Structure 1
Amino acid sequence: MNYSSINEKTIDFTLSLPMLLNRSLDAIMPPYRDLFQEFGVTEQQWRVLRVLWEQKHLTSAQISNLTLLPSPSLVGILDRLERKDLVKRLRSTSDRREINITITNLGRELQSKVMPKVKLIQDQTREKLSPTEWKQINNILKKLDRIKIEEA
C-alpha cells in the first residue's frame, strides 16, 4: 500500500491492531468459507460442529463459551443444525433442566469428509510461515486472547 498520500490518522487506523487482525482473517478465511459452502454449513454452524466433534456432548452455554457465539444466536444455529440432522438435543439424565447437544451419525460422517480438507487448508497456511513464525503468532494471539482491556 502506498502511504505517501495518506494522512497520519489514516495510517494509524489502517495499522491498528483490529484492522490488522481483520485483514489477516480476510486473507485466511476464503478457502474455509468455500469449504463450508461445499458442505452446506455456515461459519457459525461450523464452529458449533467443530467443538462438538471434540466432545461427547456439551450444553448450549458451553458451546456459546467455546465458539464465542452469543446464546440468542446459538439457539437458531442449533435449530438449523438439528433440522439438517447433524446434531440432536438430549435432556440430561442427571438434571432434567439441562439440555445436552451431541453430534448425530450424519454429523460424524460430515466430520470424516470435511476434516481432511480442513487439515489441507491449515497445512497450506502453515507453509507460508516458518515454524518459528508459526509459534510466535500462536503465542502472541494466545496472549492477546487473555488481555482484558478496561473500558475507557
Structure 2
Amino acid sequence: MNTETNTENRNPVVENVRAALAAAGLADTVIVVPDSVATAAAAAAVLGCDVGAIANSLIFECDGAPLLILASGAAKVDVKLVAREHGLAKISRATADFVLEHAGQPVGGVAPLGHPCPIRTFLDTSLAQYPVLWAGAGSHQAMLSISYEQLLATTTATETAVR
C-alpha cells in the first residue's frame, strides 16, 4: 500500500483529525492512499481487511441536530431501530451540506472525531469483534486505524445495535 508522507501536500481537514487523535492521547495512525476510500468496500479492498472492520462515520439528522452513527461497513443502519431503542425522534439522512457544516468533513471521508463541536454518537456493537478498525480520517483518501475500546472512549459513544 502506497501512502502519502509528504507534509507539503497535507489536507488541513486530515491534519485536524491528526490533531484530534493527539489531543485524545492516541497515536497518529492516519494513512493517505492514492485511491479513493470513500466507501466501505473500496476502503476494505485498499486496506486488505474485512469490510466489517470498516467503521463508517455516518451523520444523520435528528430534530435538526447531527447524530453520528459509527457502523460496521457490513451493516445497513436501521434508523427506526436506533430511534426506538434510544427514545429519539425520527432520524433522517443528512444532506452533504449538513454533514460538512456539522462534521467539518465531506461525506465519504467523515472521521469519528475532529469535528467543530461534539456530536452525539452511537457505536455499532458488531464492530467489537475486530481487533483493528479502520475509519475515515477527513478526506476520501485518508483512513485511520483504532481499536473498538479507543473508539468508544474517544467519541464517548453509546454502544448500540444498528441492525
TM norm structure 1: 0.28
Bigger relative contact order, structure 1 or 2 (CA pairs below 8 A, ≥6 apart): 2
More strand by share: 2
Q: Between Structure 1 and Structure 2, which shows a larger proportion of helix residues?
A: 1
Q: For the pair shown, which has the larger CA radius of gyration, 1 or 2?
A: 1
Q: Normalising by structure 2, report the TM-score.
A: 0.27
